[in-house]
Amino acid sequence: MLDRRNSVLLSVLLWLCASLVSSFVEELDDSFRETRGDDDIWLIKFYAPWCSFCKQLDPVWHQIGSELKSLGSPVNVGKSDATANTGLAEEFRVRGYPAIIMWKKNLKYVYSGKRTKEEIMEFTHRVSGPLVRSLNSLQLFQHAMSRHDVMFVYVGATSQLKGNFSAAAEHLIVHTNFFSAARDVLPKVIALTSLPAVVLFKDGTYFTYSEERDGDLRSWINRERFPNFSKIDSYTLYAMGETGKLVSLVLVDEKNMCEKSVRYKVLMEKVASDHRDTFSRNFYFGFMEENDYINGLIMMDVIVPSFVVVNLSNDGYFLPQGTVDTERQLFDFLDGIRDGTIQCQGGNGVVQRGRRLIYDTKLLLTSLFDQAPLLGCFLLSFPFAIATVFCYLCCKARPTSSEDEDEDAPQRCKKLTNKKSD
């Protein structure tokens, strides 16, 4: 009897906990377009009931809602079934699931990073606050430096440059961090020849923006918002492609790093660092251990370790024409891409898309047969069985020549009889 009471009590507690957690995430429908306030801030997940990735994100989403509520954040957390609330999904231009969007004062900010609690929370804190955060002391500056790999800082009084900086922050806050500071807040070792100035801090050093050298401020920030050399995953690779730069990769297996992998990784980092002025305008540099995307792009299993340069704007790629074992050889490979002597392979033409579709289908079938042979055989044979039955029914339904003659015979006899009577 006591065990039964404990079981009932536990069930009630679990139900209360689930209800409490669910209360931190509001289900939104099409009426949200009329009920939201102009000053409201919403973090919204658009999902589809059949989407497995949406279901995997669901517990993370409730954790985010609970944590933001406990922190007293002004951000409201919601979710919406995009297949049912088509008006709301159309307004936010939802094209895939799950889609994560922050709506802040009639502006939409799309999240495109990893679907982890830490990454989404970082995005939320960055976008929900001031677009340009003020650093009022050296301690605050040092704290920001310790938390961010890349940060852009405006230094000086109000000016046209500050207006351009704020406009760039409005569009790029989803990707990077923007700050402002007085000159005396920055360490004395940072040399600024004139004010106002925009300073980029990354890779343990700093760079000062020059309109004459770097062009449009917003374009420069968009190009420079990644570290010079870093670990690159599929999300980062996609974001890098949006900037128009090529991505120079060394493919390695971090779990089983051999001597050659270590040497290739060090070689790529050295070229990225020593020849930054030569290549930084055209290339990002990094290492990658998730080779599935590259294998699909090249349509073959890439040997690890190896070098490859990808062009995400047209799904193209460049491979070394020979052995690359020295800094000089890697430099020549990248320089050849830059001056056009090494041609881009792949692309997104009709023929290449067809080949890639065949390659992806082959991979899918191979994986299916490896994991579930019976299901694979059924799925592969089912279309052929349907086609065979359809052909059989068509042939059976079509009259034969003898049947046609039999049907025509009475008509011919009738005509002959009529002629005789005439």
Q: Is the pLDDT of residue 296 over 90?
A: no
Is residue 371 assigned to a domain? no
pLDDT band for position 9 (cuts 50, 70, 90): very low
Residue where a domain terminates, one of 162, 190, 224 = 224
Q: Is the pLDDT of residue 418 over 60?
A: no
pLDDT band for position 18 (cuts 50, 70, 90): very low
Q: What is the mean pLDDT of residues 45-57?
A: 92
Q: What is the overall mean pLDDT for the chain?
A: 83
Contact between 302 and 308 under an 8 Å Cβ cutoff? The reply is yes
Residue where a domain terminates, one of 224, 245, 268 = 224
User: What CA–CA distance (Å, rounded) separates 275 from 260?
Assistant: 22
DSSP string, 214-260: H-SHHHHHHHHSS-SEEE--HHHHHHHHTTT-EEEEEE--GGG--HH
Q: Give the residue numbers spanning the domain of 159.
A: 130-224
Is residue 367 assigned to a domain? no
Is residue 362 assigned to a domain? no
Which residue has better confidence, 319 or 383? 319
Q: Burial letters for 94-121: b for 16+ Cβ neighbours within 10 Å, e otherwise?
A: beebbbbbbbbeeeebebebebeeeebb
DSSP SS3 for 60: helix
Is residue 119 assigned to a domain? yes
Q: Do residues 265 and 196 both lie within one domain?
A: no
What sections of 275-372 are H helices per DSSP? Answer: 276-279, 292-298, 327-339, 350-371
Q: What is the mean pLDDT of residues 409-413?
A: 49
Report the CATH number that the domain containing residue 156 is assigned in CATH.
Answer: 3.40.30.10
- State residue 279's pLDDT score: 92
Q: Do residues 345 and 244 both lie within one domain?
A: yes
Any idea which residues carry the catalytic annotation? 51, 54
- What is the total count of domains within the chain? 4
Is residue 93 assigned to a domain? yes
Q: Do residues 137 and 213 both lie within one domain?
A: yes
Is residue 268 assigned to a domain? yes
Q: Do residues 61 and 98 both lie within one domain?
A: yes
Q: Which pair of structure tokens corresponds to residue 138?
A: 């050296």
DSSP SS3 for 78: strand
Task: Note the pLDDT tens digit of each residue in 328-345.
Answer: 999 999 999 999 999 998
- Percent of the chain's residues with pLDDT above 90: 52
Is residue 381 assigned to a domain? no
Task: Note the pLDDT tens digit of each residue in 256-294.
Answer: 888 999 999 999 999 999 998 899 889 999 999 877 788
Is residue 162 assigned to a domain? yes
Q: How many CB atoms lie within 10 A of CB 386?
A: 10
- State residue 10's pLDDT score: 44
Contact between 17 and 53 under an 8 Å Cβ cutoff? The reply is no
DSSP 303: P
**Short-list 334, 235, 322, 209, CA closest to 276:** 334
For residue 98, how far is the Cα from the chain centroid? 11
Q: Is the pLDDT of residue 16 over 60?
A: no
Radius of gyration of the chain (CA): 31
Q: Do residues 281 and 169 both lie within one domain?
A: no
Q: Do residues 123 and 139 both lie within one domain?
A: no
Which residue has better confidence, 69 or 393? 69
